[in-house]
Structure 1
Amino acid sequence: MDEYAWPAGPRVPAPDVVLGSWAATVAALPVGARVTGEVVGRQPFGIFILFDGVPNAIGLAEITAMPPGMELPALGAHVAGEVFWHSHNLQVRIRLDDWKDPAE
């Protein structure tokens, strides 16, 4: 199996569902909100997350926020972090707790 995978499976919302739920997603997950979820996709640029309690949203944690020497969490891993942006392509951008500088 390839180490990279796009988000897929019965729990991953379809693009039209994500679009139709975008206003509710932004309201439920404002910038600064604490989030948890499951890794449902991995790419060289980051991981995709399904959020606990917000089923019609997709999160993205990009490697630009990952400290050197760390690895991407595995598919199925449970992660936690903080919302730092809502992107134009209907993704909630996340900074993972495991990727924060200990000095923060």
Structure 2
Amino acid sequence: MDEYGWAENPGMPAAEAVRAGWAATVAAVPVGSRLTGTVTGRRPFGVFIRIDGVPDAIALAEITRMPLGMELPVLGALAAGEVYWHDDRNHQVRVRLDEWQGADG
């Protein structure tokens, strides 16, 4: 699989499942809560994370929250961070990764 190829990744939940489970996702990982998961996709704009304990959910850590001089985590990396927003349009949990906290940027 290409570093930026994630649509064919069997680790990603189906879009229909993500939409159907959105209310449960928002309840499970509210804004301000912490989450952990596995990086299942990399794109030039950020990484997608499969959230532990919430099988039909996807988090997105965008580069807009990444301090200068840091790099995106690699595919398969374990990630942890704080939820700062729920994107109702895309059904994504937005997260700032712990490794980005307190870094100069």
Do Structure 1 and Structure 2 share a fold, with TM-score over 0.5? yes
Which residue of structure 2 lines up, in the alignment, with residue 10 of structure 1? 10
Which residue of structure 1 lines up, in the alignment, with residue 91 of structure 2? 90
SS at match of 1:80: strand
SS at match of 2:84: strand
Measured after TM superposition, the shift of residue 11 of structure 1 is: 3.1
Which residue of structure 2 lines up, in the alignment, with residue 24 of structure 1? 24
The 8 Å contact of residues 51 and 58 in structure 2, kept in 1 or not, is answered as yes
Aligned residue identity for 2:13: P
Paired with 1:58 and 1:21, the residues of 2 have a C-alpha distance of 11
Aligned residue identity for 1:91: Q
1:49 aligns with 2:49: yes
TM-score by length of 2: 0.91
Paired with 2:13 and 2:42, the residues of 1 have a C-alpha distance of 16
Measured after TM superposition, the shift of residue 9 of structure 1 is: 2.9
Paired with 1:55 and 1:26, the residues of 2 have a C-alpha distance of 13
SS at match of 1:56: coil
SS at match of 2:55: strand
State how many pairs are aligned. Answer: 103
The 8 Å contact of residues 7 and 48 in structure 1, kept in 2 or not, is answered as no
SS at match of 1:60: strand
Paired with 1:13 and 1:95, the residues of 2 have a C-alpha distance of 21
Paired with 1:57 and 1:75, the residues of 2 have a C-alpha distance of 17
Measured after TM superposition, the shift of residue 7 of structure 1 is: 4.7
Relative to structure 1, is the Cα distance of residues 51 and 25 closer, same or farther in structure 2, using a 3 angstrom cutoff? same
Deviations 1:11-66 (A, max 9, x none): 31111100100000000010011100000000010000001101100000000010
The 8 Å contact of residues 32 and 82 in structure 1, kept in 2 or not, is answered as yes
Q: Give ranges in structure 2 of 5+ residues lacking alignment.
A: none
Paired with 2:97 and 2:8, the residues of 1 have a C-alpha distance of 21
Q: Give ranges in structure 1 of 5+ residues lacking alignment.
A: none
